[in-house]
Structures are given as structure tokens and as C-alpha cells.
Amino acid sequence: MEAIAKAHTNIALIKYWGKRDETLFLPMNSSLSITLDRFYTTTAVQFCSCLNKDVFLLNGQIASEAETMKIVAFLDHVRNIAGKNMYAIVNSVNKVPTAAGFASSASGFAALAAAATKAIGMDTDNKTLSQIARQGSGSACRSIYGGYVEWQKGEEVDGSDSFAKPISDKQDWNLSVLSCLVASNEKKVLSREGMKRTVETSPFYKGWLDTVEKDLVQAKRAIAERDFEMLGTVVEANALKMHATTLGANPPFMYWQSATLEVMEHVQQLRTSGIEAYFTIDAGPNVKVICHQKDEQAVLEHLATLPSVQNVYLCHPGPGISYLPDTATENGSKLFYKTYHQSNCENKTSHT
Ligand code: ADP
Ligand code: DP6
């Protein structure tokens, strides 16, 4: 019972920031993203009745207890739905910096949802997969789909109307996203903890909630009308508002570094000089710059000259989830399974 899935990261244009239900990962607000072609995760899942616990291998190394517990909780959910009780080996490789504001949790849990459901024998449609992925990491529900994707927050207490769906017929607006790496170290305040603290303590959170749905309407209208100035303006303002809520939290925190500000200022200067470019920033110091494809080389060259920018990754709208043949070896899974089984599976205990 093995499956391998690939999922791409997404960058939020209108941010998901805050949960109304921590257990079901139900958001306070709806959000909108672009799935990116450049960054992705491949995850191989193998369920086996001879395992006596779940094993999580991330980027070639056995993950920490805390990281593994998140995977165990997620697999418990999948086992529950499937009515099966075997443990699994999960072998995941991020082709994206982990926990640095490049959305590794989105591609990570989308790939895990797709691989785990398939490996356990479920035949899942994308809407259900989006709801399952959501319960690993909220933003992962959007990475099930390619292109421009909306996550509707839903109203139901059981989360049955909280899932992502692609924005109809506008997948082909091929904007460019330049992801600027200014720091690759893992952030101190993970998104999960950051949004919780903000909801619970920041007086600015109310301002966020009062305006975010209006931002979403404007962003969707801009996409429908292909009005880049309207889109960029609301995207930049929405990111700034999200980050402003963190400054009012107790204790306060911020994801920006001086390099973050340098890139933001530079983008605003580009606009003054006539190049249409706008920034957005997720929960980390790295900045994503959005521009027309015709301007991408000019913007890239400008950004690459900044001393604080370590790398610029050129991205475009990317695809939704896909499955790889179980002969795929890119995660080195086969070798790991064989070695792990040889040394750990003499005790044929099943998960009861
Ligand atoms: P990021 O900006 O990278 O998404 P987050 O703080 O939102 O940062 O999420 C990072 C967390 O996502 C990690 O601590 C880990 O729990 C989870 N994660 C990252 N990569 C994977 C993966 N490939 N599979 C499962 N979980 C992952
Ligand atoms: C700032 O989806 O990583 O990137 O649901 O707790 O796992 P959890 O959080 P996560 O948060 C993403 C926050 C964001 C905005 C966004 O992607 O919409």
C-alpha cells in the first residue's frame, strides 16, 4: 500500500490569518492564492501492517518528535476516514526551503493528503482532498489545485463547506512571481503559533477581519478583469495589514528583517520608475514580488542587485497535485523502506 504524490506551494494574495476552530483548521476569513510552478514537495507514503509506529522522514532525515506528532495526527485522521489502522512510513522531500515563509507546509500537507489517501486505498475527489489537506495545514487546502485558487472559509461548524476551489476560467493569466530569498533559516514563530497569538491578543486583529473580505472581493474582481494595478494594490495592502496585526500581539513579534524592508522599498521604487511590480510577504522574512511576464527579467535584474537578496526564484502559476508512479525513486524511498523494515519489523504488531 504505497503511493507517491507531488504538490506545489502557493503564495497567498489575500492571506489566511487566524482560525475559528483550531482542531478542524477552520479559518476566520476566506483567502486567495496562486499555486507556484517552481516550489514543490514529493511525498511517498507506505502503509504496512508490520510497523508498530508511524515514521516521518523529512528531507532525508528522521524528523523531530514534535514534527512527527503533526504527521501522526494527520494520519490518524486519514485512518479514521478509511477505517483502517495500519501505521505508515512517510518520506517527504521539499524542493522549497522548510519553514522559512515559502509555504512548505502547504505543499507538504497537500502532497501528504494525496499520497496517504491513495496509499490507504481511498478514491478521493479534489474537494474532499482539499478538506483533508486543510486539517494538516490550512493553506495546504489551496495547493490541491493549480493556478488561482480561493479557499472559502465556510460557515458550518463541522467544516463541511470550508475547502478550496479554483477561480473559474482565469487560470491562464500568466503573471510572474519573483520569490526573493533574504534568509533561509527556520522562523522563530511558526505561522500556526503566530496567527493564534494574534487572534487571541492583538487589538489590530479586528481591523483585519473588518476589511479582509472586501480585499478578497477586490482581488477576485481584478483577476476577472485582468486589472493588474487593482490586483497589486490590494495584494500589497492586504499583506501589510496581516503583518501589522503581529505588532499588536502580546508578546509582539514581527516576521520582517531589515532585508525585507529593503526589498519592499525597492519594489515601490520600481513602480515610481514605471515598472509595475507589487510585493507580498507570508509568515517569514522573504518577499514575493508580482509583475507582468514582460517585466520579469527587468524586475529580476533589479532585485538580484540588492546586497541583502541571496537568491531570486522566478515562478509562474503552477499545477495542482499529481501522482508519481510507485517506481519513482526521487525520495530514495525504496531504499529507506527496505532498510527500515529489515531492522524494525521483526515485531509484527499492527496498530489497534
Ligand atoms: P512555511 O512558510 O514553510 O509553510 P510554516 O511555519 O507555515 O512555514 O510551516 C512549517 C511547518 O510545516 C514545518 O514545521 C512542518 O511541521 C511542516 N512541513 C514542512 N514541510 C513538510 C512536509 N514536506 N511534509 C509535512 N509537513 C511539512
Ligand atoms: C501567512 O497554513 O501554515 O502563509 O493552518 O496553522 O498550518 P496552519 O497555518 P499555515 O498558515 C499560512 C499563513 C500565511 C497566509 C496564507 O498562506 O494564506
In the chain, what are the domain boundaries? 1-170+316-344, 175-315
258-272 and 296-304 helices, crossing angle to 10°: 140
> Atom 8, ligand 2: which residue's CA is nearest?
137
Contact partners, residue 54, CB within 8 Å, separation at least 6: 68, 71, 72, 75, 87, 88, 89, 90
At 1 the pLDDT is 80
Q: Give SS3 for 306.
A: coil
Using the mean position of ligand 2's atoms as its centre, give its distance from the Cα of residue 16 in Å. 6
Per-residue pLDDT of the chain (352 residues; tens, 9 = 90+): 899 999 999 999 999 999 999 999 999 999 999 999 999 999 999 999 999 999 999 999 999 999 999 999 999 999 999 999 999 999 999 999 877 678 899 999 999 999 999 999 999 999 999 999 999 999 999 999 999 999 999 999 999 999 999 996 556 799 999 999 998 777 789 899 999 999 999 999 999 999 999 999 999 999 999 999 999 999 999 999 999 999 999 999 999 999 999 999 999 999 999 999 999 999 999 999 999 999 999 999 999 999 999 999 999 999 999 999 976 655 555 556 666 666 666 554 444 3
Q: Give the span between the Cα atoms of 124 and 149, in whole angstroms.
A: 19
Closest atom, ligand 1, to C-alpha of 104: 3
Q: What is the pLDDT, as a whole number, of residue 202?
A: 98
Nearest to 198 by CA among 251, 246, 255: 246
Q: Which residue minimizes the CA distance to atom 14 of ligand 2?
A: 282
Choose among 273, 330, 341, 329: nearest CA to 302: 273
Q: Which protein residue's CA is at the shortest distance from atom 8 of ligand 1?
A: 99
63 near 352, Cβ under 8 Å?
A: no
d(CA 302, CA 312): 10
Query: Which residue minimizes the CA distance to atom 22 of ligand 1?
Result: 108
Closest-lying ligand 1 atom to the alpha carbon of residue 187:
6
The ligand 2 atom at the shortest distance from the C-alpha of residue 10 is: 17
Residue among 139, 152, 162 whose CB has most ligand 2 atoms within 8 A, to mutate: 139
Q: Which of 253, 254, 248, 255 is nearest to 201 (CA)?
A: 248
Q: What is the pLDDT of residue 333?
A: 58
What is residue 170's predicted lDDT score, i.e. its pLDDT? 53
**Domain 1-170+316-344 sits in CATH 3.30.230.10:** yes
Ligand 2 pocket member 12 (CB < 6 A): yes
Quick one: fold of 175-315? Alpha-Beta Plaits (3.30.70)
**Does residue 212 contact residue 29 with C-beta atoms inside 8 Å?**
yes
The interaxial angle of helices 191-201 and 228-247, nearest 10 deg, is 70
Residue of the CA atom closest to atom 21 of ligand 1: 108
Give Cα separations from 200 to 31, 209, 210, 245, 248 (angstroms).
Answer: 20, 13, 16, 11, 11
3-class state of residue 338 by DSSP:
helix
Task: Report residue 94: phi and psi, to 5°.
Answer: -95, 120
Residues 6+ apart with CB under 8 A from 352: 85
The CA dihedral of 33, 35, 41, 43, to the nearest 10 degrees, is: 90
Contact call for residues 133 and 113 (beta carbons, < 8 A): yes
**Strand-by-strand arrangement of the 277-280 sheet:** 277-280, 287-291, 176-181, 311-315
Whether residue 108 has its Cβ less than 6 Å from ligand 1: yes
Q: Tell me, in angstroms, the distance from the centre of ligand 1 to residue 326's CA.
A: 24
Task: Please name the helix (run of DSSP H) or strand (run of DSSP E) that holds residue 39, with its range, or none.
Answer: strand 31-48
Cα(53)–Cα(319) distance, integer angstroms: 33
Alpha carbon of 251 to ligand 2 centroid (Å): 20
Residue 76 grid coordinates: 490518524
Orientation angle between helical segments 228-247 and 205-225, nearest 10 degrees: 160
On whether the CB atoms of residues 312 and 181 are closer than 8 A, the answer is: yes
- Segments of 266-338 assigned E as strands: 277-280, 287-291, 311-315, 322-324
Ligand 1 contact, 109 CB (< 6 A): yes
Q: Name the nearest CA neighbour of 230 among 278, 280, 170.
A: 278
Q: What is the pLDDT at residue 216?
A: 98
Q: What are phi and psi of 45, to 5 degrees?
A: -125, 130
Confirm or reject: Cβ of 283 under 6 Å from ligand 2: yes
Do residues 276 and 292 touch, judged by C-beta distance below 8 A?
yes
Which pTM does this prediction carry?
Answer: 0.94
**How remote is the C-alpha of 93 from its chain's centroid?**
14
Query: Sign of dihedral through CA atoms 92, 125, 155, 215?
Result: positive
- What is the Å distance from ligand 2's center to 349 Cα? 36
